[in-house]
Amino acid sequence: MASDAFIAAAGGALTWLAPALVPLAAMLLLLPALRRLNRLRLLLPLAALPALGVALFAAPGAVDLPWLFLGARFGLDGTGRIFLLFTAALWLAGGVHALGYLHDDPRRNSFWLFWCAAMAGNLGLVLAQDAASFYVFFALMSFASYGLVVHSRTPEALHAGRVYLALVVLGELALFAAIALAWQAAGSLNFADIGPALAVSPWRDAVIGLTLVGFGIKVGALPLHVWLPLAHPVAPTPASAVLSGAMIKAGLLGWLRLLPLGVPGSAALAAPAWGEALVVLGLVAAFAAALVGAMQQHAKAALAYSSISQMGFVTVAVGVALAVPAAAPAAVAAATLYAFHHAFAKAALFLGVSLVGAATARARALWMLGLALPALALAGAPLTSGYAAKAALKAALPETWAWLGMALSLAAAGTTLVMLRTVWLLKRDAGNHAAHPPNLAMWAGWALLVAASAAG
């Protein structure tokens, strides 16, 4: 009986830890051999497959590991499944694309080292059900991403890396303080216990403020967004795809996990001042970043500002959930749907940037069609995932906040301008043979994301 229980517990632990352990194993075991056996590199994108399998087939559940960190809990709930699905898919498609993109890069082994570490952190935090485990994997992802940002070692990349690293350290300090105060309030690090405990805690506002700052840096929320427009133009295109498609969503998931949103029977958890401030910041980001993005001269810079603008929409949703607890379930669901939609569409557009050197007229026509699909989704065109996401967000608004729905509709027009600008910039550069010549792996990774965006 005891042995059966041990086997069951070990199986559960392996199920929830494998998505993070496999990329770490790839980093530690495969990378040292790459100098001798280059074909092993073909296996590295497959490190995301266990996470994709868990997202698609694992039943909801959790396992407690009292011996890990400060007492860890890993598992999968409805929100985590959606985040794990698009996160794993993006790392898989981005990795396939990177095989072709970096095939002749002298620093490709360094890239894959940081890539695997960042992937492990990103996938591990999605499955973390306690604050300590989430913090550890979030830190791993954040610091490993520095290596992706500075990959080219140009002065611009090193400057972007310094700004990014300074903000990462600031965010980690804020999160450490928020988690310590939440632990004092709840006597537990499990997310399920923290929310209700904050309702009667004198540390509630401090935890909210520190959490908004700590995760807001990754989300790219105003005024903590400054690393995004610097990092994306200099990072390798596959890194930009996962940075914008997957990793900034880790900040959103942190908000959803640690902030006291929609705790049943806890009207005291309403935080109208924090919520209204987030709504204002989200709207400013949605409008201002779209305006700046529409004036960029580089497609990746325009897409970076587009991400800031799009994250303004989810910031509004989180603000509504904080200000009006009764609206929190619908607002959180809308933010999750928005993250799912944005992840595939934005990553597909970023990978599309590296195909600008397509040589033949047929290849360029296929490329432009593939760019149009995610661009229309981000603009919220009818029958796209973006239209459904924006409709869900508007439906989540309380009746007394009807004005906000009109503001969001106007902000969506700004997104359309950025998409038009991005597509025009890419069309201007189409067939540019100075660009990275597309190969089969690059086309394959991009096609996976275009198909996912279209099917979203």
Q: Inform me whether the pLDDT recorded for 322 exceeds 50.
A: yes
User: For residue 368, what pLDDT is reported?
Assistant: 84
Residue 363 pLDDT class (50, 70, 90 cuts): confident
For residue 3, pLDDT beyond 60: no
**Structural domain boundaries enclosing 173:** 23-58+73-455
The answer to whether 92 and 45 are in contact (CB under 8 A) is yes
* Residue 9 scores a pLDDT above 70: no
230 occurs within a structural domain:
yes
Burial class (CB in 10 A: 0-12, 13-18, 19+), 259: buried
State how far Cα 265 lies from the chain centre.
31
Instruction: Write down the pLDDT at residue 343.
Output: 92
Can you tell me the mean pLDDT for 270-294?
88
Residue 11 lies in a domain: no
Does some domain include residue 439? yes
Q: Which pair of structure tokens corresponds to residue 59?
A: 């039943």
Residue 195 in any domain: the answer is yes
Cα–Cα distances in angstroms (integers) from residue 355 to residues 84, 359, 365, in the given order: 27, 9, 12
Query: Nearest Cα to 418, choosing from 342, 317, 366, 362?
Result: 342
Number of domains in the chain: 1
Residue 4 lies in a domain: no
Question: Does any domain span residue 115?
Answer: yes
Q: What are the φ and ψ backbone dihedral angles of 75, each rounded to 5 degrees?
A: 180, -170
Does some domain include residue 165?
A: yes
Which structure tokens are listed for 368? 């432009």
Of 65-69, 82-86, 428-432, 438-442, which gets the smallest average pLDDT?
A: 428-432
Higher per-residue pLDDT: 41 or 304? 304
End-to-end CA distance of the chain: 45
Distance CA 102, CA 97 (A): 9
Contact 421, 294 (CB under 8 A): yes
pLDDT of residue 395: 86
User: How confident is the model over 167-193, as pLDDT tens digits?
Assistant: 999 999 999 999 999 998 888 889 988
Distance CA 325, CA 205 (A): 15
Q: How many CA atoms lie within 13 A of 310 on its CB side?
A: 34
Segment 204-258, tens digit of pLDDT: 889 999 999 999 999 888 888 888 888 888 889 999 999 988 999 999 999 999 9
Q: Which sign does the torsion angle of CA 213, 125, 30, 355 carry?
A: negative
Output the pLDDT for position 6: 46
332-340 mean pLDDT:
92
Q: Which of 182-196, 265-279, 307-321, 375-389 shows the lowest mean pLDDT across its residues?
A: 265-279
**Which of the four pLDDT bands, split at 50, 70 and 90, describes residue 268?**
very low
Is 381 among the domain residues? yes
